[in-house]
Structure 1
Amino acid sequence: MLSESGISQIKEAIKEGVDQKFIAGANLLIYKEGKEVFYHEEGYADLNTGKPIKRDTIFRLYSMSKPVTAAAVMILMERGKIDLYDPVSKYLEGFQNQKVEQDGKLVAVEREATIRDLLFMTAGLVYGGNDRAGKETEALFLEINEKLLGEKPLETVEIMNRLGKCTLSFQPGASWQYGTSADVLGAVVEVVSKKRYGEFLRDELFLPLGMKDTGFWVTPDKQDRLAVTYEEDKKAGLIPYYGNHLGINNRMDREPAFESGGAGLVSTVDDYIRFATMLIQRGTYDNFQLLRPKTVEYLTTGTLNMLQQKNFDLWQNLGYSYGNLMRIMTDTTKAGTLVSAGEYGWDGWLGPYFSNCPKDKLSYLFMIQKTNAGTTPLTRRLRNIILSSCCD
């Protein structure tokens, strides 16, 4: 159970974040041993109208879409449809004959990028940057955004085949870099399953788990539940953000041609906790088995090698390793927050955050909508309160 002092501290911390205009609003949901022990909402889904955050408020997940994509890949792996050591080019021809920039020159890859490289972010793919790989990737996403709402928007597999022709930042397997790997995996799932990626997720994960508000867009009857996105302005404080980022339509008001496995999903706290609970219960939810226990064990214990780990440590993730599109706590002595060994999860560009702590039989979600947020200082404060008052 969550202590009374812990409850008071959580409410105070979130209220302070709203009052100081660090965030517009948030909700937090905590499960212990598969059951809800605490829920709290604070602040606004829309500052302009005064609409409050509610339990059914819909949030853009951005990179918190990635663990869902990893689970989709595990389903195909269990069924023998893919091998994690398959070259990506087996499914996406654009990944044939890739090039890497080394010392200002383009050279051939020493080996092809694999599905496993995508799951571990070791394929040499990036989101952007000043090198050739970064500039080419940014140019592609700029084109996606420019055509996003037009008559001929770019589609998932088409985009990923073009991405495969972009220069790699490093030789596959040689390092770690956060990038577009999960988007590529979404396209791989689409090719293998012969379904649109969103259809596969609906049939294999969302419907079995009862995740009725999760998907790649928000239907008209639910649009009023979608939280407004905010960005921080030094003078004005929080102001609405209406931009389309990473090929995602901010309004989420139409079915997208590009279903981004790395950033495209929306969800609610009650929906996503079902996914998190399925994982912490070793693949089972409500007596329905989506993944085998051994598969979940693999999914949540991946680690980087020493060379790859070097780059990941720079992300303020000391104590964590990375694998299957999630952080995994491997050394609590290096951690910057209270945490148990084996904790895993991820966050998103707009600040939604999920954590599973198998050792403590604990799951929690913190949902906000603020650009460039990721894991905020407020998020770290909350996890310290939760771990100190719920894991005695």
Structure 2
Amino acid sequence: MKKLTLFILSIAFSASTLLAQNQLSQERLERYDNFLESEISNGKIPGAVALIYKDGEKAYEKAFGLSDIEAKTPMQNDQIFYIQSMTKPIATVALMMLYEEGKFFLTDPVENYIPEFKNLRVLQNPEDGKNGETEPAKQKITIAQILSHTAGFSHGLGSTQQEIDVREALYAQPHANIESRVKALASIPLIGQPGEQWHYSASPDIAARLVEIFSGQPFDQFLKERLLDPLGMKDTGYNLSDEQEKRMVALHGYSKEGKLIKMPNQTKTSGNTVFGGTHGLFSTAQDYSIFARMLLNGGEWNGKQYLSPKTIELMTQNHIEGLSYNPGYGFGLGFGLMVDLADADLLGSKGQYFWNGAYCTYFFIDPTENMVSFLMTQNSQYTSYYGDKMRQMVYQAIIE
């Protein structure tokens, strides 16, 4: 019996050793280099920064191409990007830090804290817009729903009149602060009943406003004091210094003829006062990697615990099971999730969580492989293509 036990333990140890030996092949990562260099030479993107950490070590970091195609400035590893919706995971973590302090329950109605969300109405036909026929919301929207995009809000990115109305109210009108923008969001009827669909939305702005209410601080100040500065994310924020602005990657896009160009309207890097949860942060690949590695490390970084591992476990559960979403994927609180590799038809790991930004910045966190990966460029015409390519190129490089 003793010999059998030792034999079983030996097998288990050997299996765990093999798993621990998974590593990134530098030879295979040259395929990643070749892909990015090809995209640059073909005029698809101006340049990019790619970064991977695996098993606590920096496994890959490279800058490709140019940060400004007009100035011919070479891309550097410490370039600053406007990360757009990669702000959303940071806003979610900030709110969940206050959840751990007992400030609220995820099941709490948002109207308990922001009265503008009382008596919400739902459009019978989103094509009719804000002046169309409505019906009462069947339930009060909850904090969990705003973090999982199931509350019935939209983002103003689509073509229905409701989305156009949201876009006009949130982004075409001047707002002094996030409180003003959140009130504007509350003024537009919902696109669907709370809890009955997943619809990508501006609801993380509500999360940012809730952080202000629960903490008594402006959202940017809370982030700086409680998350960004303690983590050492020195290049992340809503406004850039003169020195940081010099490292800002220019925004590019395509002309009507499909040629890569530097966009005439560049991202505003100073004087920003709307500290949103949907978008707004600037960051570097290295800075964002600290945030991601903290989560991968069970919420701890350099001896400081930012979130409990149990909170991260809750955030990375699929909160939209039964709702229509992309095949193979789910959504947690603030993150997209890989739930079924076969349905997704893409390399990865079950339990990987991730998100992207509208100017083509991408990241994922993979607890199974103990790995985080980032790919950042600045292109105004968003595509999920480069996020999928990052996964394909990174995962094909894993060997035993």
Are the counterparts in 2 of residues 348 and 374 from structure 1 also a CA contact under 8 Å? no
Map of 1:138 onto structure 2: 167
CA distance in 2: counterparts of 1:76 and 1:243, whole angstroms: 37
The yes-or-no answer on 1:280 pairing with 2:296 is yes
Deviation at 1:158, TM superposition (A): 1.6
Are the counterparts in 2 of residues 136 and 167 from structure 1 also a CA contact under 8 Å? no
CA distance in 1: counterparts of 2:62 and 2:378, whole angstroms: 16
- SS of match in other structure, 2:61: strand
Deviation at 1:305, TM superposition (A): 2.6
Amino acid at match of 1:62: Q
- SS of match in other structure, 1:45: strand
1:336-384 deviations in Å (ceiling 9; x for gaps)? 31011101110010111011110011111101111132422x4323321
Q: 1:10 to 1:131 in 2, by over 3 A?
A: closer
Mean CA deviation greater in 223-232 or 367-376: 367-376
Map of 1:76 onto structure 2: 98
User: What is the correspondence of 1:224-373 to structure 2 with a 5 Å cutoff?
Assistant: 224-235=246-257, 237-243=259-265, 250-254=267-271, 256-306=272-322, 308=323, 310=324, 312-313=325-326, 318-373=327-382
Deviation at 1:391, TM superposition (A): 5.0
Amino acid at match of 2:164: K
Deviation at 1:334, TM superposition (A): 0.8
Amino acid at match of 2:278: G
Match of 1:66 among 82, 88, 104: 88
Deviation at 1:234, TM superposition (A): 4.4
Are the counterparts in 2 of residues 101 and 107 from structure 1 also a CA contact under 8 Å? yes
Amino acid at match of 1:349: A
- SS of match in other structure, 1:359: coil
Match of 1:27 among 40, 49, 52: 49
Map of 2:134 onto structure 1: 106
Map of 1:183 onto structure 2: 205
- SS of match in other structure, 1:192: helix
Are the counterparts in 2 of residues 232 and 239 from structure 1 also a CA contact under 8 Å? yes
Map of 2:391 onto structure 1: 383
Mean CA deviation greater in 119-128 or 88-97: 88-97
Are the counterparts in 2 of residues 46 and 227 from structure 1 also a CA contact under 8 Å? yes
Map of 1:213 onto structure 2: 235
Scaled by the length of structure 1, the TM-score of the pair is: 0.91
The yes-or-no answer on 1:39 pairing with 2:55 is no
Map of 2:13 onto structure 1: none
- Structure 2 stretches lacking a partner, 5+ long: 1-22, 126-131
User: What is the correspondence of 1:190-205 to structure 2 with a 5 Å cutoff?
Assistant: 190-205=212-227
Count of residue correspondences: 371
CA distance in 2: counterparts of 1:94 and 1:375, whole angstroms: 34
Are the counterparts in 1 of residues 83 and 359 from structure 2 also a CA contact under 8 Å? yes
Amino acid at match of 1:198: D
Are the counterparts in 1 of residues 252 and 380 from structure 2 also a CA contact under 8 Å? yes
- Structure 1 stretches lacking a partner, 5+ long: 148-152, 245-249
- SS of match in other structure, 1:107: strand
Scaled by the length of structure 2, the TM-score of the pair is: 0.89
Q: 1:93 to 1:70 in 2, by over 3 A?
A: same
Are the counterparts in 1 of residues 25 and 399 from structure 2 also a CA contact under 8 Å? no
Deviation at 1:132, TM superposition (A): 4.8
- SS of match in other structure, 2:289: helix
CA distance in 1: counterparts of 2:383 and 2:86, whole angstroms: 10
Are the counterparts in 2 of residues 126 and 180 from structure 1 also a CA contact under 8 Å? yes
Deviation at 1:170, TM superposition (A): 0.6
Map of 1:247 onto structure 2: none
Map of 1:150 onto structure 2: none
Are the counterparts in 2 of residues 132 and 167 from structure 1 also a CA contact under 8 Å? no
Question: For the aligned residues, what is the CA RMSD?
Answer: 1.6
CA distance in 2: counterparts of 1:391 and 1:88, whole angstroms: 47
Are the counterparts in 1 of residues 356 and 387 from structure 2 also a CA contact under 8 Å? no
* Identical columns (%): 29
CA distance in 2: counterparts of 1:99 and 1:372, whole angstroms: 33
CA distance in 2: counterparts of 1:182 and 1:113, whole angstroms: 13
